[in-house]
Amino acid sequence: MNKILIIDDDTALCNLIRRSVLSENIEADFCNTGKEGLQKLNEKAYQLVILDVMMPGMDGFETLEEIRKEKNLPVLMFTSKNDSISKVRGLRAGADDYLTKPFDMEELIARILSLIRRYTRLNQEGEPAQKLVFDGLTIDLENRCVTTVNGTFDLPPKEFDVLLCCAKHQGKILTKQQLYEEVWGEEYVYDDSNIMAIISRLRRKLEINPKNPNYIQTVKGIGYRFNREV
């Protein structure tokens, strides 16, 4: 059974989430401070952390920084409505996804399941996958080519690298800074036009309808996300 850890000072909400995820065969522990959360992470193995930004003492950002020093498990952050600064700050610090309060419980559960599936798939034992297979799209890592309904073809190096970066982080929102630093391997400089041009070219090559992309989707004001549903 999968286990998640909820770190939030709202005990009533924690209990509600714990009861809700049980129907998906997921156990949940919770605590009300970042310090307690870090202690629990050292005591047990979890597949996901739900982390609130606003907490007394050590806030969510500080807690996330400590988690990322040793753990690579997915972290979903709760932010306040319309707080885009917190969203971007959390994503840059290593959060995998965010949800604004108040939220729909069904959406939360869907995001939890998606993050756990991705984490489990990317952390399986054995040889690393040579192909990433999605609905209508196959990415061949060894031969650095892609297959769609239009056939198999090569991509220019940076286009392939951007696509692969997004696909490996399926379901996770990547800021332009994160995408740039992972693909280019250097400190981010303002190069949004280059990234946007590459994404645009990829959509024209991969999508049936580039204006309504099925794979790399834009998250307005933040960055991009490879569709968790494909």
Q: Is the pTM of this model over 0.95?
A: no
pLDDT of 82 above 70: no
Kindly state the helix (H) or strand (E) to which residue 226 belongs, with its residue range.
strand 223-226
Q: Where in the chain is the domain with CATH 1.10.10.10?
A: 131-226
Q: Is the predicted pLDDT of residue 174 greater than 50, yes or no?
A: yes
pLDDT tens readout for residues 10-26: 999 999 999 999 999 99
Residue 224, pLDDT score? 92
Give the CB-side neighbour count of residue 139, counting CA atoms within 13 A.
Answer: 18
Q: Which of 25-29, 122-126, 158-162 has the lowest mean pLDDT?
A: 122-126
Which of 58-72, 107-121, 179-193 is predicted most confidently? 58-72
Q: Could you tell me the pLDDT band of residue 124, with boundaries at 50, 70 and 90? A: low
Mention the CATH class of domain 131-226: mainly alpha
126: pLDDT confidence band, cut at 50, 70 and 90? very low
| Residue 164 half-sphere exposure toward CB, CA atoms < 13 A | 22
Residue that has been written with the tokens 């310090």 in this structure: 35
Query: Which segments of the chain belong to CATH 3.40.50.2300?
Result: 2-122
Contact 121, 115 (CB under 8 A): no
For residue 120, pLDDT beyond 70: no
According to CATH, the topology of domain 2-122 is Rossmann fold (3.40.50)
Tokens standing for 73? Answer: 């498990």
pLDDT in tens, 137-146: 999 888 888 9
Q: Name the pLDDT band for 105 (thresholds 50, 70, 90).
A: very high
Average pLDDT of the chain? 85
DSSP string, 43-94: HS--SEEEEES--SSS-HHHHHHHHHTT--S-EEEEEETT-HHHHHHHHHHT
